[in-house]
Amino acid sequence: MNHNKTKAFFEGNEIKAYNIFGAHVKPKSVEFNVYAPNAEGISVIGSFNNWDDKKNVMKKDDQGIWSCTIRNAKEGDTYRYRVIRKGGEVVDKSDPYAFYSELRPQNASIISSLKFDKWEDKEWMEKRNKGFDSPINIYEMHVGSWKKEGEDFVHYNEIQDELIEHCKKHHFTHVEVMPLSEYPFDGSWGYQSTGYFSSTSRYGTNIELMHFVNALHKAGIGIIMDFVPVHFVRDDFALRLFDGTPLYEYPNERDANSQWDTLNFDLWKEEVRSFLMSAANFWLDVYHVDGLRMDAISNAIFWHGNKNNGVNEGACNFMKRMNYLLNKEYDGKIMLIAEDSTDFPNVTKSSLDGGLGFDYKWDLGWMNDTLSYLKKDPIYRQWHHNDVTFSMAYFYSEKFILPLSHDEVVHGKATILQKMYGAYEGKFPQGRAFYLYMMAHPGKKLNFMGNEIGQLREWDEKREQDWCLLDFPIHNAFLRFMREINILYLNTPALYQEDYSPSGFQWLKSDQDGSCCYIFERRCQKQRILFLFQFSDQPYSVSGLSLPGNVRWLEPLINTDWQEYGGQTKKSKAKLCPGKNGFQITLAPFSGQCFKITENES
């Protein structure tokens, strides 16, 4: 193969290696290319040659790239590489760059051209951006269990219209799909991948996935995809010891083996960097995805995710390079999100300024602290107000997203609503107050499917969401509340325009008296919004509340205790005017209120 064509690949700067490797459909043939420098021989076997390894033997060039052109192969045919590994062992391998694959438990690659001429999202693609000063309200979902048809997997086209209707009605700006690259074990949810360029065959063809993305964009909904750049499955048909040597994994066993019984990518190796950067770009380029949420970044920053093991400098350099090149390719219009649980600095700082170059980082500290607070018996919350206030002490160090993801509703952790202290009916007012607090807190928002209906059963990838809960008035009211706070968020510039500026937030009361009452303002240039929360099981009277500026009145926007949401208070839109000693406001137990502040004209 021409050295000029592969130069960037071997330098670790290639983000379109899928145009070089894999199976490429030509007018009268299919061209196969695979990188395996230490293999002793490779043949293409498939449905087009009766799986005979003598018919289509590949030739190796001086770069370690094996090539073969097959005239009678065609789109839709299945194939594998029969590899004679270094040392003589023979093994059949899936194509690392396959564009489509068989449904598990089968694992052959499938020839696919990826031709799609029905994109209608040009205007969307030109206008999209990172959204730093815009509302971003993400609906995270597992495609296979949002809705199900018996034991069969649903296909994209079966849920597409209903999903769009749901997101539009309940005012989510983006859908985040859990990994859609091919994977062998359903229970891994896609986080243990084999086909980094192959959309999973569980939910339809790769062309149907393109239709799905196109439909979301036409409806004004962005799509983010989970991407797993840290580790891959051990299955012998995939990347492990591909040519008889650790081509993709670290050469030493200690670094290669991960905590998930998978293998860690060797992120110091230039060819691996090009492979992963190209895999990331593949979804942005071919499928028009608007952003990537990068999984397990803490395990890339530190060796085995443990700070005591030291910083993995090679992995950090890989992330800087990947984020820089992807931003350059898309003029900074795509979102790159890190799931990182560490305190490693400058994750969302530009790589040009020494940071890792992500746009956003999940605020897992906020999530853990706040949920820990609300799990506690209310009598003890007065001694743990730091769980609520600490997030604002570090918030401006990064650009954060507030995540209530799938990880928080599985493996015995209980669902978000179920985590609230107390019995069934007592969980709902606490849940409403918590979600209003989430919308009020600086940072973009993410909720996993089921959170919006107050699901009480932990997520199970084999079952659809408990939509039947909406037959119960209390859950239906909860969904109505969630919809209305989403509307509030999207329509209130003070809640997003100054997310990452200290001028956009001010504490007025942070429970220093043990009352479990928290009061703060969100601001932007032309708007001030007041929030008050009472996380105790007792009512609380806010007496003599004094607000900065010359305030004329407070206009009620949301009260989590309104009857229409399942609360006890009759809805009122009457404006509150300050008395001689300021504003007097009564907060119901486990409640939150939101007011628009109107100032006197100067």
7: number of Cβ within 10 Å: 12
Distance CA 538, CA 584 (A): 17
Annotated catalytic residue, options 95, 243, 290, 339: 339
* Longest CA span, the chain: 94
Residues 413, 416, 420, 425: what is their CA dihedral angle, to the nearest 10 degrees?
-120
Annotated catalytic residue, options 249, 295, 363, 387: 295
Closest CA to 321 of 289, 280, 366: 280
Sign of CA dihedral 465, 469, 471, 477: negative
Answer yes or no: are the C-beta atoms of 431 and 418 closer than 8 Å. no
> Could you tell me if residue 63 is left (phi over 0), alpha (psi between -120 and 50 degrees) or otherwise beta?
alpha
Q: Would you give the end-to-end CA distance of the chain in angstroms? A: 73
Distance CA 10, CA 14 (A): 8
Answer yes or no: are the C-beta atoms of 457 and 412 closer than 8 Å. no
Mapping DSSP to helix (H, G, I), strand (E, B) and coil, where does residue 346 land?
coil
The DSSP-derived string for 155-178 is PHHHHHHHHHHHHHHTT-SEEEEP
The position carrying tokens 């206030």 is: 389
Return the CA Rg of the chain: 26
Answer yes or no: are the C-beta atoms of 429 and 478 closer than 8 Å. no
For residue 448, CA distances in Å to 426, 445, 455, 510 come to: 22, 10, 11, 29
Closest CA to 101 of 4, 221, 169, 183: 183
Helices marked H in 74-205 — which ranges?
A: 122-127, 143-146, 156-169
Answer yes or no: are the C-beta atoms of 17 and 275 closer than 8 Å. yes
Distance CA 83, CA 68 (A): 14
Provide the β-strand partners of residue 302.
Answer: 311
Distance CA 206, CA 299 (A): 30
The interaxial angle of helices 364-375 and 424-440, nearest 10 deg, is 150
Distance CA 384, CA 18 (A): 52
Strands 527-534 and 65-70: unpaired
Q: Is 295 a catalytic residue?
A: yes
In the chain, % helix, strand, coil (3-state, to 5) comes to 30, 25, 45
Mapping DSSP to helix (H, G, I), strand (E, B) and coil, where does residue 371 land?
helix
Catalytic residue annotation: 295, 339
